Amino acid sequence: MVLRIALFVLMALGLAGFGAVAWVSTHPAGSRQVVVPPVKVLVAARALHAGSLLKPEDIATRDMPPTLVPVGASKDTPTERAALYGSMVRQSLGAQDPILPAEIMHPGDHGFLAAVLGPNMRAVTVAVDLVSGGAGLIWPGDRVDLILTQTVDGPNARLSHRLAAETVLANVRVIAIDQQLVQGGSQDTEQKAARTVTLEVTAAGAEDVTVASRLGHLSLVVRSADPGSAADKAETAAAGGPSITWAGEVSPALREGDSAHLNANTVRVYQGSADGKEFHF
């Protein structure tokens, strides 16, 4: 009896072992599914038309399976992002489209300026400092006004008229910042202050900028991101004529200084019944 039970136990163990071997043979380790993490790819944050200059807000990230990542697509790294800033879009991109090398032109590439400039337009470069250059907040593709501030000298110049500001150019496009004009993304744009800004202007505008750069201090003012709005067009048209802001219009103290100066240094001379003449000294 005991022998028979032992025989049944051995048979059961043998069948269990045979089943285990059969299951392992039909489920090899290589057939187990491996989860591959997606790749973060740089894409267009919104629809971009041909000729656009890429700014930080134009670039977004999209998770894609490795098998679907296009050849040459940029991965989402600080270096790859910086390499795209200021690049020109050769052909229109839809929102979430990967940004591929064949679809953009980098600053420094042969023919970059010629491709970026509009018909009959010129590129002119102005020197700026940290403040006048927008403290790193201006990017290629932004539209700006160029303001000249100058000192007006002269022995008879009133205090309120010894400093003036005027808009030299209105609503012009920035096409390069500092060394982004001659190199790609190897420059750490977040840590270096801009020293030059290249603008897209007309032939007459280029002459205006050249003269203004010798007269005084130039500053850039960023305009609205919607240059097509009615208010922006009206403001641009109004800025087309000469517009001067004198120091006295900003500072009442200078206007009062003018009055005190005139009262203390003015002599009015009368001859007969004729109106008196003022002499200032």
Give the pLDDT band (50/70/90) at residue 177: confident
Instruction: Report yes or no on 52 lying in a domain.
Output: yes
Instruction: Report yes or no on 277 lying in a domain.
Output: yes
**55 and 162 together in one domain:** no
d(CA 269, CA 273): 11
Instruction: Report yes or no on 34 lying in a domain.
Output: no
Instruction: Report yes or no on 281 lying in a domain.
Output: yes
pTM over 0.85: no
Instruction: Report yes or no on 20 lying in a domain.
Output: no
| DSSP strand pairing (244-246 vs 163-177) | antiparallel
The whole-number pLDDT of residue 162 equals 79
∠ CA 203-243-198 to the nearest 5 degrees? 35
Instruction: Report yes or no on 17 lying in a domain.
Output: no
**Over 80: is that where the pLDDT of 157 sits?**
no
**Which structural domain range is residue 255 located in?**
251-281
**61 and 93 together in one domain:** yes
The whole-number pLDDT of residue 178 equals 74
Instruction: Report yes or no on 12 lying in a domain.
Output: no
Q: Are 89 and 59 in contact (CB under 8 A)?
A: no
Q: How many domains does the chain have?
A: 3
**270 and 245 together in one domain:** no
**57 and 82 together in one domain:** yes
**150 and 88 together in one domain:** no
Give the pLDDT band (50/70/90) at residue 190: very low
Mean pLDDT, residues 187-194 taken together: 48
DSSP state of 70: P
Phi, psi of 278 (to 5 degrees): -95, 140
**127 and 245 together in one domain:** yes
What tens digit of pLDDT does each residue of 204-237 get? 999 999 999 999 999 888 888 765 554 554 555 4
Instruction: Report yes or no on 211 lying in a domain.
Output: yes
**62 and 174 together in one domain:** no
**154 and 219 together in one domain:** yes
